[in-house]
Amino acid sequence: MDMETIKDLYFNDKGFIFDPDSGAIFSLNTTGAFIIKQLQKGVPVKRVLAEMKKDFDVDEGTAQRDLREFLDMLAAFGLLAKAPA
């Protein structure tokens, strides 16, 4: 995963991110905002998954699916070089 791409995004506490390279603005839900904050801090994806399960009180399968879908969406919008495996 290209963490520099994520770190170059501007993020505010209301869940909006701005990509200065493209000028695109995105609105995130609570889960997406949580994931972006963790990744910007350099938290490994496995730990993000564990924290999602705890903080959102979801099972492993749900957390994995939500995280994968969000990372795939970031990749589709060009905000990641590629989603991690």
Q: What is the dihedral of CA 7, 13, 14, 16, to 10 degrees?
A: -10
The answer to whether position 25 is within a domain reads yes
pTM of the model: 0.82
The answer to whether position 83 is within a domain reads no
The answer to whether position 48 is within a domain reads yes
Confidence of residue 82 (pLDDT cuts 50, 70, 90): low
* Total domains in the fold of the chain: 1
Spatial contact of 7 and 60, defined as CB atoms under 8 Å apart: no
Residue 19 CB-half CA count within 13 A: 17
Q: Per-residue pLDDT tens for 31-66? A: 999 998 898 888 888 999 999 999 999 999 999 999
The answer to whether position 81 is within a domain reads no
Percent of the chain with pLDDT over 90: 49
- Domain residues for the domain of 52 are 3-76
